[in-house]
């Protein structure tokens, strides 16, 4: 399963990328706002750090303006992936861009039928939001299971990009189900390294090492 970082914070992106943990990045207007950076400038910087797809989201609601915005965004770098909302205008934009060889991430997906539409429109990625689904009394992971089943039934090539990931169990379940990608805040990705027995093990080894009176350097 590929790991994308759901952030526009450069320091976090560099750290995860240097550890070999990043296959791409997703941003959205809220994350750009949180970063306090200029959208075009920060997107260009991220595209220069990460080799994989970097999602940049259009903000227009109608197809013609979405296409104009996408035209500006795709000039930023070759690895920009245009993010469009799951609306009929967004799907129309998805079809036009993907026919032209541009990567498209169809975002704000909350049902398996919506995911079916994204695949039919030729999306590179579909982003079902599991955390927000859970928040509203549904099981976000059931949604991922349904989409996996449907895409496999018809051999759709659109990649399932699990979004709105809030904790380690979302990541584990996504991998079990066979999602193609998951995008999570850097702190969730880093938390996957945590284990109490790892900490305890290090503590024990260091205590015994100190007793040997030796040093490596
Ligand atoms: C996906 O691309 C979105 O940026 C994202 O995962 C939104 O998640 P949130 O529910 O934490 O805002």
Render pLDDT for 173-207 as a digit per residue (tens, 0 to 9). 999 999 999 999 999 999 999 999 999 999 999 99
- Ligand 1 atom at minimum distance from 6 CA: 4
- Quick one: average pLDDT of 154-173? 98
The angle subtended at Cα 76 by Cα 72 and Cα 77, nearest 5°, is: 135
Domain 2-212, what architecture?
Answer: Alpha-Beta Barrel (3.20)
Given ligand 1 and candidates 2, 3, 6, 106, which is best to mutate, with the most ligand atoms within 8 Å of its CB? Answer: 6
pLDDT at 108: 98
**5 CA from centroid of ligand 1 (Å):** 10
Dihedral angle of Cα 193, 195, 199, 200, to the nearest 10 degrees: -160
pLDDT digits (tens, 9 = 90+) for 75-92: 999 999 999 999 999 999
**30 CA from centroid of ligand 1 (Å):** 9
- Give the pLDDT band of residue 121 (cuts 50, 70, 90): very high
What's this model's pTM, rounded to 2 decimal places? 0.96
Rg of the chain on CA atoms, in Å: 20
- Give the pLDDT band of residue 152 (cuts 50, 70, 90): very high
- Ligand 1 atom at minimum distance from 184 CA: 6
Task: Pick the closest to residue 83 from 59, 116, 111 (CA basis).
Answer: 59
Determine the distance from the C-alpha atom of residue 43 to the mean position of all C-alpha atoms in its chain, rounded to a whole number. 15
Burial 188-210 (b: 16+ CB within 10 A, else e): bbeeeeeeeeeeeeeeeeeeeee
């Amino acid at each position: 399963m590929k790991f994308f970082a759901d952030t526009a914070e450069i320091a976090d992106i560099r750290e995860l990328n240097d550890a070999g943990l990043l296959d791409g990045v997703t941003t959205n207007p809220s994350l750009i706002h949180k970063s306090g950076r200029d959208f075009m400038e920060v997107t260009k910087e991220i595209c220069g750090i990460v080799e994989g797809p970097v999602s940049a989201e259009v903000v227009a609601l109608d197809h013609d303006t979405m296409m104009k915005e996408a035209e500006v965004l795709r000039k930023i770098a070759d690895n920009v992936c245009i993010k469009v909302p799951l609306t009929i205008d967004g799907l129309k934009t998805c079809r036009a861009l993907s026919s032209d060889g541009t990567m498209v991430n169809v975002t704000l997906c909350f049902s398996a039928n919506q995911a079916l539409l994204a695949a039919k429109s030729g999306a590179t990625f579909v982003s079902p939001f599991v955390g927000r689904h859970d928040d509203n009394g549904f099981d976000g992971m059931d949604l991922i299971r349904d989409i996996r089943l449907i895409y496999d039934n018809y051999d759709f090539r659109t990649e399932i990009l699990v979004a709105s990931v809030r904790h380690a169990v979302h990541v584990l379940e996504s991998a079990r189900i066979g999602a193609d990608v998951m995008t999570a805040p850097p702190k969730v990705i880093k938390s996957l390294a945590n284990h109490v027995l790892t900490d305890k093990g290090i503590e024990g080894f260091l205590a015994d090492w100190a007793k040997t009176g030796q040093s490596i350097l």
